[in-house]
């Protein structure tokens, strides 16, 4: 699978929750994320035009699932986890 350019947004109410959308997509135009979790009703941009590689390992997230969600429903919700003491 090739690289995906995505914009990452962070929930304003729970900073551990992130939303990935294709680069340039307005997350407020998407009803799905906030329908499933109200924490996504208010988001702030975390990273713009991130080159996401579904084959790469990212700590605490399932990259393949994120890529599949973006390609099928145009958005992916996920939570960032950190190791103890990090």
pLDDT at 1: 61
Pairing of strands 76-79, 4-11: unpaired
pLDDT at 85: 41
pLDDT at 75: 95
d(CA 41, CA 64): 25
Q: Tokens 């975390």 correspond to what residue?
A: 46
Mean pLDDT by 10 residues, the chain (86 residues): 90 95 94 91 94 87 92 92 49
In sequence order, what are the beta bridge partners of 43?
A: 11
Asked if residue 63 lies in contact with residue 4, where contact means CB atoms within 8 angstroms, the answer is: no
Question: Length of the chain, please?
Answer: 86
**Within 8-80, where are the H helices?**
32-36, 63-73
pLDDT at 84: 43
pLDDT at 69: 95
d(CA 77, CA 40): 9
């Amino acid at each position: 699978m090739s690289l995906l350019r995505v914009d990452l947004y962070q929930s304003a109410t729970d900073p551990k929750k992130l939303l990935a959308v294709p680069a340039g997509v307005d997350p407020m135009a998407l009803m799905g994320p906030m329908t499933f979790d109200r924490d996504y009703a208010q988001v702030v941009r975390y990273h713009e035009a991130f080159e996401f590689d579904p084959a790469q390992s990212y700590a605490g997230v399932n990259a393949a699932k994120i890529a599949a969600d973006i390609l099928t429903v145009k958005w992916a919700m996920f939570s960032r986890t950190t190791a103890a003491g990090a």
